[in-house]
Amino acid sequence: MPNFTALIAEDEHNLALALKDALARTWPELRIVDIVGNGPAAIMAVDQNAPNVLFLDIRMPGLTGLQVAQRLANGGGNDGPLIVFVTAYNEYAVQAFEREAVDYLVKPINDARLAETVERLKKRLIAPEIAADSGELSRALELIKKLAGGANGALGAPAPPYLKFLRAGIGDTVRIVPVDEVTHLQAHDKYVSLYTDHGEHLIRISLKELAEQLDPNVFVQVHRATIVNMRVVVTAERDFSGRVMLTLKGVKDKVQVSRQYAHLFARM
């Protein structure tokens, strides 16, 4: 079997490395030519490396994964990479297959599910001239229904509601934390700290993935590594160095707002 190459486009670097490690386990012959973190860089890397496969996160800065796929398709020719969309949320399933994706992976990705994708990719790479048979098309349609419609399989069903509870670890204990009790969230290397009146709790998920599942009208990003519950923001004021600092109800330490998000707390 020839040696194939792949490009990973994912703006959460730790998640990109995790996918790379998972691919090394499920497809050790595959060579990862590059890892990029935004849409424009993905297009450039495809042009430079001509990978056989592109693992493409849908929500990325610059251009979304769907926009990247569309631009690659508009470039013409049939020698572009096979695309596998990877995302934490399944609301884009139908659009993903409209972009002729080979598969659609929902984070967190497990090796068994990834192995199915690898087999599908290998078949397409080895015999690209063979069109998908009716059975494969039927399976793809069923996958679309499951992703887009949830358990009832109905296309066009609304996206899953925002999270109401979080499962947080405290030593060997799992605590069920109502989202309404969370004052703010702080990202670390491989986990997120969530804070409530009861203290700090840890969850193993990226801040980006978690943000996609929280109500954006309530939980607002104020720093690259921080999200706050706007319902508990008491004041926003500048310190001696000009930084915007938030006082949160029930929280002793103030929360810093980066310059990128300072406009959110300007006077109305």
Q: What are the structural domain ranges in the chain?
A: 5-152, 165-265
Please tell me whether residue 85 adopts helix, strand or coil conformation: strand
CATH 3.40.50.2300 fits 5-152, yes or no: yes
Q: Which two structure tokens, joined as six digits, stand for 241?
A: 């160095």
64 with 90: CB under 8 angstroms? no
Beta bridge pairs of residue 202: 169, 193
For residue 259, count other CB atoms closer than 10 A to its CB. Answer: 10
Architecture of the structural domain at 165-265: Beta Barrel (2.40)
Distance linking the first and last C-alpha atoms of the chain:
63
Beta bridge pairs of residue 169: 174, 202
pTM for the full predicted model: 0.52
CA distance 88 to 183: 23
pLDDT tens sequence for the chain (268 residues) = 578 999 999 988 888 999 999 999 999 999 999 999 999 999 999 999 999 999 999 888 888 888 888 888 776 555 689 999 887 755 555 455 545 567 888 777 888 889 999 998 998 888 765 444 444 444 544 554 454 444 333 434 444 578 888 888 766 778 889 999 999 999 987 789 999 988 888 888 888 888 888 888 889 999 989 999 999 999 999 988 888 999 999 899 999 999 888 888 876 4
CA distance 75 to 51: 15
Tokens 């160095």 appear where?
Answer: 241
